[in-house]
Amino acid sequence: MRGQDGPAPGAVERTHEKYSPRPRPRFDATRGQPIGSPPMSDPSPASPVRVRFAPSPTGYLHIGGVRTALFNWLFARRHGGRFVLRVDDTDAQRNVAEALAPILDGFRWLGLDWDEGPEVGGEYGPYYQSERQPRYQAAVDRLLAGGFAYRDYARPEEIQAERAAAEAAKEPYVASRRWAGETDADRERFAAEGRSFVVRLRMPRAGQSRIDDLVRGEVVTDWAAEADHVIQRADGSFLYNLASVVDDIEMRISHLIRAEEHLSNTPRQLFIWQGLGAPPPVFAHLPVVAEPGSRVKLSKRKLDRYLKNPEFAELYERGRRIAERLGHAVAADTFNPVIVDFYRESGFLPDAILNYLLLLGWSLDDRTEILDAEARIAHFSLAGVNRASASFDPAKLLSFQERYMQALPAAARTELVLPFLERAGWIGSPPSAAERATVLAIVTAAAERLKVAGDILDYEELFVADSALVWDEKAFAKRLQQPPAAAVLLGEMRAELAAAPDFTPAALEALFAGFVAARGLGLGAIVHAVRVAVSGKAVGFGLFDLLSILGRERVLARIDRALARLAAP
RNA sequence: GGCGCGUUCGUCUAGGGGUCUAGGACGCCGGCCUCUCACGCCGGUAACACGGGUUCGAAUCCCGUACGCGCUACCA
């Protein structure tokens, strides 16, 4: 089993009835590096699984980034390895701590805990690239000394001229290396000309680079197709390809699970691994998370465009409505379904998001959709990762949310909902015992109408003073003003409610049944009128639950107010 | 332009030469339930990008084309 990326025998056996494991991985993982994924009962100290996610402190957590992080996290947990968070702040100009906070908060909220990284430390730190400069310099020096890199004294316009010439000749551009400072004499001469230098990789011009990608299989590229990439700028700062590889080496990263956009970067990075004399990790390039109905990578900057997709718009609208009631800002770059905070602020469940994201590019079999945290870890395998990019489906995400929400007992849903009501100022903070009891009753009555926790804010009518209740005009007209008998019936019902011995839903239902039976009417003849009178709305959960929750006093006060308006000219 | 990667219902996917008149889920459409809404239940719609091979047989293997995405930065 060692060296194979498949479920450990124990895990498969345990769940054999429920899930049918794949017959075999898509690719023979043993062809590449030994990937060290032994069963958890037999950890291999020689090649422990170590994976990383390296976010830039951008101030927000991208949903696609979460998917990549999730796959890394799952892989680490599945194989008893370590999940490392590394902060990619090489060109950090702003306040890193401030820009990192939403990202770390997002991970915490989702339950993606990291074993090494910011706040927790670890033996391979520091975990901020900005604090690792000396290591990068040492690596550059070593590449230079080994002939894997050179100092390039060319001026930008000279490089451009060479490129333009190659393009004009319709030939691929190949660096001339004319201004390579190979000797001390060269360097002095160039410096005397007022030239500065960058450090470039001296890429091979023959042969091929070859990786065995766990998702894509074998990927072969001609070395000659690779440019002499810059790894250190003229100002001495370092570039991504260099810093990333140095860190991955020093942090002992065993598997590089990252988005497909990095596949083309791999050969040049492989060259650095070679130059530094380190064995490369095992690669797994994940398909990107794309825009709804497209293959283009999802971006937080294109909200306006995504809003043209009805399902995306519906998801956004749900969150926006909630944020608005809480008085939160809804600026596109902070409040947006591409950003994880959107879901937290709307009251989504982390498990629902994780489950949805897991199935975006991965599947267990032909029917399993719901995988709880344990099952996700037990069954995750890179062999199940798809190759094609997957477009983000807002409707399906919502459907996972609904399913997870429905699975929660009312008491748990109440706990989720309470903070929203507190923040809206509709109940005390902390809520009183009576308020908690009322909210539990509301949550129970609302049942599956609460798709996200923030949906509780749709029930404002249950929290406002009777005198402040606002009627939906259309509903008021249709159910109370237009039907000729509405006012009379409502008045008669008012009397019965006032005299009702019991205000439980069951008793109220019996009362209403008797009321319509005595008059030879259908239930609808009175139910709608009462609903609009007491809630102001045409829609909502069961009327008897509604009346029972409001209680006799408030129900009568609201009906009286409606009757007064009906009586007015 | 060059190089790399990809392509099964609108979307996520199952599929590894015959069990595929291509399965599941979300969406959508229709119906049932019903005091409205939501839930639930039943039914339906809908796909192997195209063209060549290989083979008795191709969604599946090979080649090509088209289209999409990525890289080709002193971005990450």
* pLDDT at residue A25 tops 80: no
Query: Which chain B positions have some atom within 7 A of a protein CB?
Result: 1-8, 10-16, 23-28, 34-40, 68-76
ipTM: 0.95
Annotated active-site residue A300? The verdict is yes
Q: How far is the CA of A558 from the C1' of B27 (A)?
A: 40
Integer angstrom CA distances of residue A70 from A99, A170, A217, A249, A557: 21, 44, 22, 22, 53
Q: Note the CA–C1' distance, A255 to B48, in angstroms.
A: 33
pLDDT, tens only, A200-219: 999 999 999 999 999 999 99
Q: A267-276, A298-307, A403-412, A463-472: lowest mean pLDDT where?
A: A298-307
Mean pLDDT of chain A: 89
Of A46-50, A164-168, A267-271, give the range with the top mean pLDDT. A267-271
Residue nearest to nucleotide B11 (CA to C1'): A393
Q: A110, A53, A111, A51: which is closest to A82 by C-alpha?
A: A51
Which secondary-structure segment (H or E) carries A83? Answer: strand A82-85
Beta bridge partners of A151: A199
Query: Which pLDDT belongs to residue A40?
Result: 27
pLDDT computed for residue A6 by the predictor: 32
Q: Which residues contact A424 (CB under 8 A, 6 or more apart)?
A: A325, A326, A457
pLDDT of A500: 94
* Nearest nucleotide (CA of A291 to C1'): B11
Q: Rounded distance, CA A99 to CA A91, Å?
A: 13
Q: What Å value separates CA A387 and C1' B13? A: 12
Percent of chain A with pLDDT over 70: 91
pLDDT exceeds cutoff 70 at A42: no
Residue A387 burial (CB count, 10 A)? 14
Given a cut of 50, is residue A18 above it in pLDDT?
Answer: no
Structure confidence at residue A29 as a pLDDT band (50, 70, 90): very low
Q: In the prediction, which pLDDT does A453 show? A: 98
Residues whose CB is less than 8 angstroms from the CB of residue A400 and which lie 6 or more positions away in sequence, other chains included: A352, A353, A355, A356, A369, A370
What is the Cα–Cα distance from A180 to A183, expressed in whole angstroms? Answer: 9
Using alpha carbons, select from A457, A173, A449, A121 the residue that is nearest to residue A320: A457
A26 has pLDDT over 70: no
pLDDT at A431 > cutoff 80: yes
Shortest-distance nucleotide from A241 CA to C1': B76
CB A61 within 8 A of CB A339: yes
Which nucleotide has the shortest C1'-to-CA distance from A156?
A: B74
A198 or A94, which is more confident: A198
Residue A316 has pLDDT above 50, yes or no: yes
- What the block records as the tokens of A426 is 């509709």
Q: Hey, what amino acid is at A260?
A: E
- In this prediction, residue A92 carries a pLDDT of 62
Q: Which of A13-22, A162-171, A499-508, A551-560 has the lowest mean pLDDT?
A: A13-22
pLDDT at A30 over 60: no
DSSP string, A436-499: HHHHHHHHHHHGGG-SSGGGGGGGGGGTS-GGG----HHHHIIIIISSTTHHHHHHHHHHHHHH
Catalytic residue among A18, A300, A308, A537: A300
pLDDT over 80 (residue A37): no
What nucleotide is nearest A285 when CA is compared to C1'?
Answer: B5
Residue–nucleotide distance: A56 CA to B76 C1' (Å): 8
Which residue's CA lies closest to nucleotide B26 at its C1' atom?
A: A396
| pLDDT (0 to 100) of residue A172 | 83
Pairing mode of beta strands A255-259, A282-286: parallel
Q: Report CA(A225)–C1'(B52) in Å, whole number.
A: 30
pLDDT tier for residue A43 given thresholds of 50, 70 and 90: very low
Q: What average pLDDT does this structure show over A176-191?
A: 92
- Ranges A12-26, A62-76, A197-211, A467-481: which has the least confidence: A12-26
pLDDT, tens digit (0-9, with 9 covering 90-100), for A490-533: 999 999 999 999 999 999 999 999 999 999 999 999 999 999 99
In order of A188, A199, A245, A271, the CA distances from A280 in angstroms are 36, 22, 9, 9
Asked whether A337 and A394 are in contact (CB, 8 A), the reply is yes
pTM over 0.95: no
Write the pLDDT tens digit of every residue in A351-367. Answer: 999 999 999 999 999 99
Per-residue pLDDT for A3 more than 80? Answer: no
Q: A492-528 b/e with 16+ CB inside 10 Å = b?
A: ebbeebeebeebebeebbebbeebbeeeeeeeebbbb
For A278, residues 6+ apart whose C-beta sits below 8 A from its C-beta are: A249
| Interatomic CA distance for residues A39 and A36, integer angstroms | 9
Q: Is the pLDDT of residue A386 over 80?
A: yes
**Could you give the CA distance from residue A333 to residue A335 in angstroms, rounded to a whole number?**
6
Q: State yes or no: pLDDT of A540 exceeds 80.
A: yes
pLDDT of residue A93: 67
Mean pLDDT across the stretch A48-57? Answer: 95
Q: How many residues does chain A have?
A: 569
CA separation for the pair A328, A282 (Å, rounded): 44
* Coil/strand/helix, residue A531: helix
Nearest residue to B39 via alpha carbon and C1': A448
